[in-house]
Homo-oligomer: A and B are copies of this chain.
Amino acid sequence: MAQEKKIPYKIYLEESEMPKAWYNVRADMKNKPAPLLNPGTHQPMTAEELGGVFCDELVQQELDNENAYIEIPQEIRDFYKMYRPAPLVRAYCLEEKLGTPAKIYYKFEGNNTSGSHKLNSAIAQAYYAKKQGLKGVTTETGAGQWGTALSMACSYLDLDCKVYMVKVSYEQKPFRREVMRVYGASVTPSPSMETEIGRKINAEHPGTTGSLGCAISEAVEVSVKNPGYRYVLGSVLNQVLLHQSIIGLETKAALDKYDIKPDIIIGCAGGGSNLGGLISPFMGEKLRGEADYRIIAVEPASCPSFTRGVYAYDFADTGMVCPLAKMYTLGSDFIPSANHAGGLRYHGMSPILSQLYDDGLMEAVSVEQTKVFEAAEQFARVEGILPAPESSHAIRVAIDEALKCKETGEEKTIVFGLTGTGYFDMVAYEKFHDGKMDDYIPTDEELAEYRAKLPKID
């Protein structure tokens, strides 16, 4: 056995050790993720069709199931250097507090103004749009992390950025909106009266506070109707998981530097951008038979696409203008009960992760939000970082696994993704403290009703 090096509280890679290529886990998957389908013809989307929505280089990345490594352009690597490498932190204080023999590490992605890992893909998508000579991009945002990240990237590259923000978030989170304004983005509450689909939804559901699916439809419509604009998305897509592989690659490099081999890897999962990025190089080893890891996706009990959804083709948006994706889904009309992890409220899941889950290569658990906030507060008090509600789902399960180790005496190594900070989520923490947070979980009947509305695809 190699002599154990003393592990510092935080492992930072040197700039020279930062990854120079993204890793594309699809290259190592025996069962490739199902292709996106044209919503009209139900035929696989061609590069040409996708090119009307996404910019060209991103279409290539979306369709590329073969190349394991894709070089990160120098300009993006320079931008990454502004806020990366993200530290891999040894949670010494949490371990001590829990009295566990487990060794806990977390990859902290919150050290940038967007407050999350979203910036990793935002800069890539904005870069390719700029390179193609486009004027700007459109997108949707729920909780606001993705919108903020995209605003930052566009501001840096001098691209126009139009954000459709779910109306309820727009009103409840004026500060998020204001951060986007600092970065020069235009932010419109959705559904708006600016788009056809927005006017339609407003007419059909007067007073609606909006949803992610609806904001996606508006953003896509605007990109298609405005020459020089393309639509960009912060999760679910293959290209996003590719860019987010930087999380896992850095994590693996940091672990390798100290000869640490994780037993369990845990990440929260909404659309899959964080989890897919974090696990990708580890999953690659697993797919190639070089190593084995327990990989756990954590989702809210109020929006349980992995644990209670079905694996089927579904619409990505409410307006049904987007391609169909085969994924674990609750149905595109599903709107979760009020929960405070805005980034985990999507009805579907990344097609890549859906295929890996279906193949039994990873596990999934769902947790109730009061339990999540208990873990968040416990973590904040000993580790100093106030976590985002989304990230706290992973903390909950990491703590649970560490407590199991305490019972069994096993010295397992647990790695989880701490995707971001909760500075803009204090209303949620307040509700938690005041005992006003509920744990509504959809009934089987409710889920069956949404499931019945799934499109029929042969």
A430 within 8 A of B: yes
Closest to A376 in B: B182
A156 within 8 A of B: yes
A93 within 8 A of B: yes
A440 within 8 A of B: no
* A178 adjacent to B15 (CB under 8 Å): no
B-contact bits for A233-252, CB 8 A (1 contact / 0 none): 00000000000000000000
* A174 adjacent to B381 (CB under 8 Å): no
Q: Which of B81, B383, B384, B429 is A9 in contact with, Cβ under 8 Å?
A: B81
How many copies of this chain does the complex contain? 2
- Contacts of A83 on B, CB cut-off 8 Å? 384
- Contacts of A181 on B, CB cut-off 8 Å? 429-430, 433
B-contact bits for A94-132, CB 8 A (1 contact / 0 none): 000000000000000001110100010000000000000
Closest to A155 in B: B381
How many residues of chain A have a CB within 8 Å of chain B? 42
A183 within 8 A of B: yes
**Distance in Å: Cβ of A19 to nearest Cβ of chain B:** 16
A63 within 8 A of B: no
* 23 A/B residue pairs, CB under 8 Å, sorted by A: A9-B15, A9-B82, A10-B15, A82-B93, A82-B384, A83-B384, A111-B111, A112-B385, A113-B384, A113-B385, A113-B386, A115-B423, A156-B382, A174-B426, A178-B426, A179-B423, A179-B426, A181-B433, A182-B377, A182-B381, A183-B380, A183-B381, A423-B423
Residues of A whose CB lies within 8 Å of any CB of B are: 8-10, 12, 14-15, 81-83, 93, 111-113, 115, 119, 152, 155-156, 174-175, 178-179, 181-184, 377, 380-386, 421, 423-424, 426-427, 429-430, 433
